[in-house]
Chains A and B, each alone.
Chain A
């Protein structure tokens, strides 16, 4: 089955700086790569996704990149704000959606 690895497990950034989270996946057939944000005590929520026919996608301060050859994808958050503090999960899907272990992001004011 699909194996998704996510790094780093924790990330602390100064407000206004950028944050980058990286994921690798094992199944070359995977073609859908969403990212979820989970605030403390709440449910995961989709923040951005990318499909295998696209190399990059941006939505305001959030961008994702995908390298299918290397089987890795990344989440970039620019100009971080305190409300960006949360756990972020990457995921990869072909038949079923497999998640990474999560990255706890802390934005220091």
Chain B
């Protein structure tokens, strides 16, 4: 089944404790992206990647890192999480930039 898999689905952590949210797709998509969703703000792009080893900042990249060492994986790293990073995070992939996204199931992150 074609899908984008995110893990974990839920995560509660403490301020400053490094964490990684994993994202993997099995559709051989070149384009992958991370979004955060907050009430009233819609989906805001954190980082995107147009191919292996090619990443770029989205609209809200501060406090986040990404890497794209393999085509299928695009992990999101929070080196020192803060409470304002409490949010619902979605990973998405598509064949290229201007095609429909397939979203993962989301990761609900709470930083206390």
Asked if B2 is at the interface of the complex by the 8 Å CB criterion, the answer is no
**Complex contact B98–A51 (CB within 8 A):** yes
Query: When the two chains form their complex, are residues A43 and B106 in contact, meaning their CB atoms are under 8 A apart?
Result: yes
Q: Is the CB of B44 within 8 A of A99?
A: yes
Question: A43-B103, A43-B106, A45-B103 given as contacts; is B97 within 8 A of A98 (CB)?
Answer: no
Q: A9 to B45: give the CA distance in the assembly, Å.
A: 20
Q: Give the interface size bracket for A toward B.
A: 20 to 34
Given the interface pairs A43-B103, A46-B100, A49-B100, the reply to whether A96 lies near B58 with Cβ below 8 Å is yes
Chain A residue contacts of B100, Cβ below 8 A = 34, 46, 49
Q: How far is the CB of A30 from chain B (nearest CB, A)?
A: 9
Q: In the complex, which residues of chain A have a beta carbon less than 8 angstroms from the beta carbon of B97? A: 32, 93, 95-97
In the complex, per-residue mask of A15-45: 1 if CB is within 8 Å of any chain B CB, else 0: 0000000000000000110101000000111
Interface of A is mostly: strand
Size range of the chain B interface in the assembly: 20 to 34
What B residues does A45 contact at CB under 8 A? 103
Question: Cβ of B104: which chain A residues have Cβ within 8 Å of it?
Answer: 43
Tell me which residues from 76 to 99 in chain B have a Cβ below 8 Å from any Cβ of chain A. 90, 97-99
Fill in one digit per residue for B50-79: 1 if any A CB lies within 8 Å of its CB, else 0. 000000101100000000000000000000
In the complex, whether B33 has a CB less than 8 A from a CB of chain A is: yes
Interface string of A36-69 (1 = CB under 8 A from B): 1000000111100101000000000000000000
> A98 and B98 in contact (CB under 8 A), knowing A43-B103, A89-B43?
no
- Least Cβ–Cβ distance between A22 and chain B, in angstroms: 15
Complex: chain B residue closest to A87, CB-CB: B42
**Which residues of B lie under 8 Å from residue A36 when comparing CB positions?**
101
A50: min CB distance to chain B, Å: 11
Is there contact, CB below 8 Å, between A96 and B43?
no
User: In whole angstroms, how far apart are the Cα atoms of A45 and B35 in the complex?
Assistant: 14
Interface contact B44-A97, CB-CB below 8 Å? no
A86 at the interface (CB under 8 A from B): no
